Amino acid sequence: MEYTKLGKTGLKVSVAGIGTGGNSRLGIKTGKTTKQSIAILHEAIDLGINFIDTAENYGSDRIVGEAIKSFPREEIVLATKSTIRNSDGCLSADEVICRFNSSLKRLNTDYVDVLNLHGVKPEEYDYSLNELAPALLKEKEKGKIRHLGLTESASCDPHHTVIEKALKEDIWEVCMVAYHLMCQQARNTIFPLTQNNGVGTLLMYAVRSIFSDREYLKETLEVLAAERKIDPALAVGEPLDFLIVEGGARSVIDAAYRFVRHEPGVDVLLFGTGNVEHLKTNLSSILSPPLPQPTVDKIYDLFGHLVGVGLDMPRFTS
C-alpha cells in the first residue's frame, strides 16, 4: 500500500479508501450477508487500506463498527458523514448532533477522524457554514470529531460551486469531490486550490455506474455524440477501447482508477464494492503506474470539456 498525508489534517492515509456507500454498500444492496460485508472490510484492512468512508444514511455503520473492533482504533482513519436534510428541509444543528452521536454508537467508537457534511447542495452551503459548522466545532472541542469537512452533491453541482466556496473558509479541513475520466472540471478549478490550501481531498465517482456498466457507458457515449459533445467515432464499437493499449490499461475500469489516482491534488481515491475479487483488482489498479502520457493527453483532449457526465445518484436511496 502507498500512504500519503490528508492535507493539513496530517492524518496518514492509504491512497485507496474503501467507501461503504454507492450502489454496492459493501454488498448490503446486492444480497451479501453481514459476515460477508465484514469480510470485505477485513480484507481491505489486511491489504493496507486504513481509510474507511461511511455515512449516517448508508446503513453500513453497524457493519463498520463490528469490523473495526478487531483492530486498534488508532490504526483506522474513520470518516463518516452527517445527513443535513430531510423532506422538510435542512435539519437543525441539534438534530444533526443528536444523529451524529447515534452514529458514533453504531460505529463502536467515541470519535471519528473526519466528519463530513453529506452532499451539501449550493442552496444549503450558507446554512451549513453558519449554523451547522459552529455546532460541530463544539463536538470537535469535546474530541468526538478530529477534522471537519464536507462532500458535494455531485449531480446538483457539477461545477463544484460548494467546494469552491468552502475552500475560502479555514473551517473545512477535508472535502470530497467527484472526478473521473469524463468529468474533469475539478482538475482546473478545485485541485489547485485544495493543494494550495492544504485541504485533504477525497475523490468519489472514479468508476461508479458509468464505467462498471458497459451498456450505460455505451448509451452515454451515443447521447454525447448525438449532442455533438464528443467525436461521433467514440460512440461506435467497443466503448473507450482506445484506453486499452500495450503497456497501458488492462480494462476500462483499470484505466478509470489509474487516471484519477495520479491526478495531483487527489489524496484518497474512494471506491466501493461488495465483491472481494473487485476489491483486489481495484487495489492493483490504484497501485499501478500512471497511464501512458499519450493516453492521458487523449483523455484530456476528448473529454476535458464535458460537464456533469456520469454523476448519477445511487440506485438505492436508503
Ligand X SMILES: NC(=O)c1ccc[n+]([C@@H]2O[C@H](COP(=O)([O-])OP(=O)(O)OC[C@H]3O[C@@H](n4cnc5c(N)ncnc54)[C@H](OP(=O)(O)O)[C@@H]3O)[C@@H](O)[C@H]2O)c1
User: Per rule CB under 6 A, is residue 49 in the interface with ligand X?
Assistant: no
Q: Which CB, 111 or 316, lies closer to ligand X?
A: 316
**Closest distance to ligand X from the beta carbon of 139 (Å):** 19
Q: Do residues 311 and 177 lie in contact, with contact meaning Cβ atoms separated by under 8 Å?
A: no
By beta-carbon proximity to ligand X, the closer residue of 156 and 225 is 156
For position 155 contacting ligand X by CB under 6 A, the verdict is no
Tell me which residues in 196-235 interact with ligand X (CB under 6 A).
204-208, 212
Binding to ligand X (CB under 6 A): which residues in 68-87?
A: 81
Total number of residues that touch ligand X (CB under 6 A): 30
For residue 54 the three cell numbers come to 461511511
Residue from 6, 13, 15, 24 in contact with ligand X (CB under 6 A): 24
Query: Please, what's the b/e burial string for 226-261 (b: 16 or more CB within 10 A of its CB; e: otherwise)?
Result: eeeebeeebbeeebbebbeeeebbeebbbbbbbbbb
Question: Is residue 32 involved in binding ligand X (CB under 6 A)?
Answer: no
In whole angstroms, the minimum distance from the beta carbon of 122 to ligand X comes to 14
C-alpha cell of 276? 472481494
Return the residue matching grid coordinates 485544495.
Answer: 194
Nearest to ligand X of 97, 270 (CB atom) = 270
Q: Which of residues 231-260 bind ligand X (CB under 6 A)?
A: 253
Would you count residue 161 as binding ligand X (CB under 6 A)?
A: no
> Residues 261, 294, 265, CA angle at the centre, nearest 5°?
25
Least gap, CB of 20 to ligand X (angstroms) = 6
| 9, 14, 20, 109: residue in contact with ligand X (rule CB under 6 A) | 20
From residue 266 to residue 305, the character string flagging contacts with ligand X as x (rule: CB under 6 A) and all else as - is ----xxxxxx--x--xx-----------------------
CB closer to ligand X out of 165 and 225 = 165
Least distance from ligand X to the Cβ atom of residue 205, Å: 4
Q: Which is nearer to ligand X, 241 or 297 (CB)?
A: 241
Q: Does the protein bind ligand X through residue 50 (CB under 6 A)?
A: no
Give the range of 20-28, 136-144, 157-165, 231-239 binding ligand X by CB under 6 A: 20-28
Binding site for ligand X (CB under 6 A): 19-24, 30, 53, 81, 118-119, 151, 153, 176, 204-208, 212, 253, 270-275, 278, 281-282
